[in-house]
Amino acid sequence: MDAGASKSAERPIAVFDSGLGGLTVVRQLLERMPTEDVVYLGDSARVPYGIKSARTVRDFALQDAAFLLRFDPKLLVVACNTASAVALDAICRICPVPVIGVVQPAAVRAVQLAQGRTIGVIGTEATIISGAYQRAIRALDGSCRVLAAAAPLLVPIVEEGRSQDDPIVLHVLSDYLHDLQRARPAVLILGCTHYPLLSDAIAKLMGPEALLLDPGQAAAERIQAHLCDSGLLSARSSGTLRCFSTDNPERFARVARRFAGREVGEVAWVGTDELAACLPMVGGRGAQEI
Amino acid sequence: MDAGASKSAERPIAVFDSGLGGLTVVRQLLERMPTEDVVYLGDSARVPYGIKSARTVRDFALQDAAFLLRFDPKLLVVACNTASAVALDAICRICPVPVIGVVQPAAVRAVQLAQGRTIGVIGTEATIISGAYQRAIRALDGSCRVLAAAAPLLVPIVEEGRSQDDPIVLHVLSDYLHDLQRARPAVLILGCTHYPLLSDAIAKLMGPEALLLDPGQAAAERIQAHLCDSGLLSARSSGTLRCFSTDNPERFARVARRFAGREVGEVAWVGTDELAACLPMVGGRGAQEI
């Protein structure tokens, strides 16, 4: 490995999400690559993205990406399924570093696991309406049957902190999963960063035949392979996690544990006006999706 | 009435909310005062406010107010309960026209109706945590028992379009209203603009002894009295409603009917960056709350 690559390898991995949910992706990253530095931005002041138009999500996601580019990352991870579904091309166009979303890695893994059988997807309204998962899966396996369902209440239910055996959680899940249960998919993609926190309850309702797929895990595996292939894995003994939130950083730090599976330490506040101000400074050289 | 007052009377009433919910307040206004022009701003790109910190809600609310001041209104109505609870003083400081929120009129009306008996309040997390309703009620009747409960899922449930007899709606309401049912309040304040759309279901659960109070109605009555007393009621034969949204205006127009009880016509898009740009242009002369 030459000196340039070594220096490059010690740059952080940048990750953003509409709020706390993307910390489930960070959790997957750090379990596999504990020596990596991660810079995380949660846009909690404008959360959720999943009920908003593609145009608005794109505007916000570009600002999030522009802010993170300040940290000279070696890779930008779009942890938010909604932003991955509607804004990835736009982000790639402004980013001078490789970009990875969660939709494409999950689609690849789902097709591998399903082997021609039905694939189910649950996600936010914006993710499902965009058709991004459906398109990505069909591009890999044109004959695959894909059944997608929007599940708008699951994000606020997780944010409220309800446990997986709460009767309301089970009632709402039964409602959303009704058609999917009957379709008996081989794989069910948990197409929102919040849903892994409900995976036990979802597994119980879907039965043992349906494999639950966390896009954060699929993305983390792809990132590890990419960094390994490019000689960009950090050689540090341990990495750090640095978090920014556009809303109340104390609340963010308090609730983050449930999503990240660890303490996240001090969280810094950054205003949405500061994010917006970063955008015109981005070179717009264009990058590849990995 | 002199010529100045007459001209003044034909200026619009400006109303803002975090999204669509404030149209329930507009509905109350136009039922009483159909000759008034109303300019409405829904900050749908950053909705909801009720799960966010007071600081963030204040920042957004000031931008919303600054945008509406462009229309030279005779009055600014803060239709959002959360913004009324945490941002009204800040808005009054920058506004050159009278400002009215929904908390104070509702508190006055609740105390009148309760006559010393218990008052219940349901609202967003931010509204309930702020203690604004509790303080306003106790300032009017120091011995009044106030029982407040946050009901975070009700906003997304209404936004999802579930009907009032949907089993999930009833299940969630039963959960939130459990302690309030036992306390048998004389009045229950529906402390969020979305809740009037669930009033039949709430009434059924609370029983006939609890009067449900819509703060939008209390605010509309206060506004009518103020305009009448100041000689500022419009003398037009009919008014117009002009709506702006920071997110998808087509969706806003489509869903608005449920909240406004009428078609709202064409909705114009305005970016949140444009709202932010309005703030530095506000004089900051300071106004009174009516």
- Sequence-distant (6+) residues with CB within 8 A of A205 are A170, A173, A174, A177, A181
B159 HSE (CA, 13 A, CB side): 25
Domain final residue, candidates A199, A215, A231? A215
Domain housing A117: 103-215
B144 inside domain:
yes
What whole-number distance in Å separates Cα of residue B109 and Cα of residue B111? 6
| Cross-strand bridge partners of residue A78 | A16
Chain segment A75-102, per-residue pLDDT in tens: 999 999 999 999 999 999 999 999 999 9
A288 inside domain:
no
B281: confidence class by pLDDT, cuts 50, 70, 90: confident
Angle at A172 between CA B196 and CA A84, to 5 degrees: 95
Q: How many other C-beta atoms can be found within 10 angstroms of the C-beta atom of residue B181?
A: 15
| A3 has a pLDDT exceeding 60 | no
| B148 has a pLDDT exceeding 60 | yes
Residues B107, B185, single domain; the answer is yes
Check A271 against B172: CB less than 8 A apart.
no
Mean pLDDT across B185-202:
98
| A7 has a pLDDT exceeding 80 | no
User: Percent of chain B having pLDDT more than 70?
Assistant: 96
What whole-number distance in Å separates Cα of residue A6 and Cα of residue A20? 31
Residues A118, A199, single domain; the answer is yes
Check B56 against A45: CB less than 8 A apart.
yes
Active site residues of A: 80, 192
Q: How many other C-beta atoms can be found within 10 angstroms of the C-beta atom of residue A6?
A: 13
Mean pLDDT across A126-135:
98
Give the distance from residue B169's alpha carbon to the nearest chain A alpha carbon, in angstroms: 10
Residue B253's pLDDT is what? 95
- Sequence-distant (6+) residues with CB within 8 A of A182 are none
Check B248 against A56: CB less than 8 A apart.
yes
A93 inside domain:
yes
B287 inside domain:
no
Interface of A with B (CB under 8 A): 44-47, 51-53, 55-56, 59-60, 152-153, 155-157, 159-160, 167-168, 171-172, 175, 246-248, 251, 271-273, 276
Chain segment A142-163, per-residue pLDDT in tens: 999 999 999 999 999 999 999 9
Residues A142, A210, single domain; the answer is yes
| Cross-strand bridge partners of residue A122 | A149, A190
Mean pLDDT across B81-93:
97
**Which has the higher per-residue pLDDT, B285 or A43?**
A43
Residues A86, A182, single domain; the answer is no
Tell whether ipTM is more than 0.85.
yes
Residue B3's pLDDT is what? 47
Name the residue facing A248 among B47, B53, B273 (closest C-beta).
B53
| Cross-strand bridge partners of residue A149 | A122
Check A272 against B272: CB less than 8 A apart.
yes
Active-site choice (B92, B95, B144, B192): B192
At residue A40, the 3 state secondary structure works out as: strand
| Cross-strand bridge partners of residue B100 | B77
| A236 has a pLDDT exceeding 70 | yes
User: Percent of chain A having pLDDT more than 90?
Assistant: 93
B285: confidence class by pLDDT, cuts 50, 70, 90: low
What whole-number distance in Å separates Cα of residue B168 and Cα of residue A169? 10
**Known active-site residue B144:** no
Q: What is the mean pLDDT of chain B?
A: 95
Give the distance from residue B153's alpha carbon to the nearest chain A alpha carbon, in angstroms: 6
B290 inside domain:
no
**Known active-site residue B92:** no
Residue A267's pLDDT is what? 97
DSSP 8-state symbol, B289: B
The CATH number given to whatever domain includes residue A46 is: 3.40.50.1860
Mean pLDDT across B261-280:
95
- From the number of C-beta atoms within 10 Å of its C-beta (0-12, 13-18, 19+), residue B101 rates as buried
Q: How far apart are the first and last CA of chain A?
A: 21
| Cross-strand bridge partners of residue A147 | A120
Check A52 against B247: CB less than 8 A apart.
yes
What whole-number distance in Å separates Cα of residue A194 and Cα of residue A185? 21
Residues B243, B112, single domain; the answer is no
Least confident of A63-77, A258-272, A276-290, B34-48: A276-290
Residue B1's pLDDT is what? 42
Mean pLDDT across A33-41:
98
B289: confidence class by pLDDT, cuts 50, 70, 90: confident
Question: Please, are residues B111 and B101 in contact by the beta-carbon 8 Å criterion?
Answer: no
Residues A227, A193, single domain; the answer is no
B289 inside domain:
no
Residues B94, B152, single domain; the answer is no
Residues B109, B193, single domain; the answer is yes
- Model pTM score: 0.95
- From the number of C-beta atoms within 10 Å of its C-beta (0-12, 13-18, 19+), residue B271 rates as middle
| B98 has a pLDDT exceeding 90 | yes
| A133 has a pLDDT exceeding 60 | yes
Interface test with A, best of B52, B62, B175, B275 (most A CBs within 10 A): B52
Residues B14, B97, single domain; the answer is yes
Q: Which amino acid is at A128?
A: I
A-B CB pairs within 8 A amount to 69
At residue B242, the 3 state secondary structure works out as: strand
Tokens of A51: 């009920």
Domain final residue, candidates B182, B216, B250? B216
| A6 has a pLDDT exceeding 60 | no
| A44 has a pLDDT exceeding 50 | yes
CB contacts of A156 in chain B (<8 Å) are 51, 152-153, 155-156
Domain count, chain B: 2
Mean pLDDT across B185-212:
98
B116 inside domain:
yes
Check B168 against A175: CB less than 8 A apart.
yes
Check A47 against B51: CB less than 8 A apart.
yes
Name the residue facing B171 among A171, A272, A273 (closest C-beta).
A171
Residues A209, A110, single domain; the answer is yes
User: By CA distance, what is A167's nearest residue in B?
Assistant: B171
Residue B4's pLDDT is what? 52
Question: Please, are residues B103 and B215 in contact by the beta-carbon 8 Å criterion?
Answer: yes
Domain final residue, candidates A215, A239, A254? A215
Q: What is the mean pLDDT of chain A?
A: 95
Residue B2's pLDDT is what? 46
Question: Please, are residues A230 and A21 in contact by the beta-carbon 8 Å criterion?
Answer: no
Residues A85, A142, single domain; the answer is no
B288 inside domain:
no
| A1 has a pLDDT exceeding 50 | no
Residues A51, A135, single domain; the answer is no
CB contacts of A53 in chain B (<8 Å) are 247-248, 251
Mean pLDDT across A202-207:
98
Of A124, A164, A118, A156, the C-alpha closest to A138 is A118
Question: Please, are residues A134 and A106 in contact by the beta-carbon 8 Å criterion?
Answer: no
Residue A2's pLDDT is what? 47
